[in-house]
Amino acid sequence: MKGIIFALLGGFFLTFQSVANATISSQIGSWQAAAMTQLTGFVLAIFIVLIIRDRSYRQLTQVSPLYASGGMLAAIVLFSNMTAVHIMGVTLTIAIFLIAQLVLAIVIDGKGWFDMSQKRIGKTQIFGVLMMIAGVIILKL
Amino acid sequence: MALGIFLAIIGGAFVSIQNTFNANVKKRVSVWTTTALVLLLGFAASFVAGLAFEGTGLFRFDAEPWFWFSGIVGVGVVACVTQGVQILGPSRAISLVMVSQIFFGLMWDTLGWFGLEQVPFTWQSLIGVLMISGGVLLFQLGPKLEQKPFVKLNPETMEAND
């Protein structure tokens, strides 16, 4: 039960984040909004790291620089998210984001790219994505 | 509209790549250190992009006080999703997160809170969202359903399967 509530809340926060970012960006600009939300989030996260006395950053040297720099992709993600929400609202933006995300996840897992353990793609996953695309078409008709 | 769809496809693809990269970081480093690193680099990249596109215009803005607390939301995402995954396991937790995300999206568009342009609620959009949710559940939980029988009578084999 607790797990379900956490997961539902996580979804709420993700949507709230898209909406808040779009609102902030329409008032102060997209890059300003992206920089501000990431910086304030960082300050809070580093606080948590200090409070729980987390020393695992020492192992960062063992992480490939390519993977460690993944955070920079957030600039592209945030910019496209904010602009898409402005253009077509949050429901459709989230729906298409999820479809693109899952399709690429199938490819990455299927090919075993980026050190991911290779997985066989099930029929249910293809059907799942097709059903989501059908849902988007119904949403937009 | 076409631009919105295009940007959402690009954005979603990058979310996938970023999740993959972060998963590799988390093999060595804790969730919170990974989060701090990801947010710091996200800030740096946005800052540099802002300077490149707008020059010093990047610093001319008039922020409302709550903007400075917007980062809390991102930290809330990480905390809740991490807890959910720990309790329910990744496929069940992530499918719930995604379903919740899309339903709150519909709610938000309908209510038009927070300066969002209101999109009137239609039954058709509810059906669309239900189908998208069904697709997410099929995608995330499908592999488990394929492997396991629907009815399990022997509790011992049940544990062995999990």
CA–CA min distance A125, chain B (Å)? 4
Within an 8 Å CB–CB cutoff, is residue A41 touching chain B?
yes
Does pLDDT of B60 surpass 90?
no
Q: Do the beta carbons of residue B42 and residue A72 sit within 8 Å? A: yes
Q: Of residues B60 and B103, which shows the higher confidence score?
A: B103
Contact assessment for residue B57 and residue A32, using Cβ atoms and an 8 Å cutoff: no
Q: Which of B68, B97, B108 sits opposite A19 (nearest CB)?
A: B108
ipTM: 0.93
Q: How confident is the model at residue B158 (pLDDT cuts 50, 70, 90)?
A: very low
Find chain A residues with C-beta within 8 A of B116's C-beta.
19, 22-23, 85, 89-90
Contact across the interface for B41 and A67, Cβ inside 8 Å: no
Residues near B89 by beta carbon (within 8 Å), at least 6 away in sequence: none
B113: tokens are 């809170």
CB contact under 8 A, B88 and A3: yes
pLDDT for the residue numbered A99: 95
pLDDT along chain A (141 residues), means of 10: 93 93 93 95 95 92 94 95 93 94 90 88 90 92 76
Shortest CA gap B154–chain A (Å): 24
Of A74, A85, A116, Cβ closest to residue B38: A74
Quick one: which of A25, A95, A9 has its CA closest to B75?
A9
B93: closest chain A residue by CA: A7
Looking at residue B147, its pLDDT comes to 67
What is the average pLDDT score of chain B?
Answer: 87
Beta carbons of B135 and A139 less than 8 angstroms apart: no
Interface contacts (A, B; CB < 8 Å): 433
- How much is the average pLDDT of B147-153? 54
Residue-wise pLDDT tens digits, B81-93:
999 999 998 888 9
DSSP A62: G
| Distant-in-sequence contacts of A105-109, Cβ < 8 A, 24+ apart | A105/B16, A105/B19, A105/B20, A108/B16, A108/B17, A108/B20
Single-letter residue type at A70: G
pTM for the structure as a whole: 0.89
Torsion angles phi and psi, residue B148, rounded to 5: -110, 145
pLDDT at B3 over 80: yes
State yes or no: pLDDT of B159 exceeds 80.
no
Select the more confidently predicted residue: B30 or A120: B30
CA–CA separation, B18 vs B127, rounded Å? 31
The pLDDT, as a whole number, for residue A117 is 84
Interface test with A, best of B104, B106, B126 (most A CBs within 10 A): B104
Residue whose structure tokens are 């399990």 = B152
Neighbouring CB atoms inside 10 A of B154's CB total 8
pLDDT at B160 over 70: no
pLDDT at A140: 84
* Cβ-Cβ contacts under 8 Å, A112 against chain B: none
Measured distance CA(B134)–CA(B93) in Å, rounded: 15
Tally of CB atoms within 10 A around A107: 13
